[in-house]
Amino acid sequence: MTTDRSYAILKSRALIALGGEDWRDFLQGLITQDVETLQDSEARFGALLTPQGRLLFDLFVVGRPDGAWLDVGAEYRAALILRLTLYRLRAKVTIAADETPVAVLFGGDGAPEGWIADPRLEALGWRGYGVSAPSDTTPVDEAAYDAHRLALGVPGPADWGSEKTYPIEANFDLLNGIDFHKGCFVGQETTSRMKRRGQIKNRMLPITFDGAPPAFDAEVLLGDRRAGEVLSGQEGRAMALVRLDRIDGELTVDGKTVAVDRPSWLPL
> What CA–CA distances, in Å, run from 107 to 9, 13, 18, 208?
15, 20, 31, 22
* HSE-CB for 262 with a 13 A CA cutoff: 10
Model pTM above 0.75: yes
Instruction: Return the bridge partners of 4, or none.
Output: none
What is 6-157's CATH superfamily?
A: Probable tRNA modification gtpase trme; domain 1 (3.30.1360.120)
Q: Could you give the CA distance from residue 46 to residue 34 in angstroms, rounded to a whole number?
A: 9
The sign of the CA dihedral 132, 133, 139, 142 is negative
Residues of the chain with CATH 2.40.30.110: 201-263
The pairing of beta strand 94-98 with beta strand 237-243 = unpaired
Instruction: Return the bridge partners of 95, or none.
Output: 18
Per-residue pLDDT of the chain (268 residues; tens, 9 = 90+): 345 899 999 999 999 999 999 999 999 999 999 999 999 999 999 999 999 999 999 999 999 999 999 999 999 999 999 999 999 999 999 999 999 999 999 998 877 889 999 999 999 999 999 999 888 899 999 999 999 999 999 999 999 988 999 999 999 999 999 999 988 999 999 999 988 887 789 999 999 999 999 999 999 999 999 999 999 999 999 999 999 999 999 999 999 999 999 999 988 6
> What CA–CA distances, in Å, run from 210 to 16, 99, 259?
40, 40, 10
Q: Which CATH number fits domain 201-263: 2.40.50.140, 2.40.30.110, 3.10.310.30, 3.20.10.10?
A: 2.40.30.110
180-210: burial string, b at 16+ Cβ within 10 Å, e else? eebeebbbbebbeebeeeeeeebbbbbbebe
| The amino acid at 159 | D
Residues of the chain with CATH 3.30.1360.120: 6-157
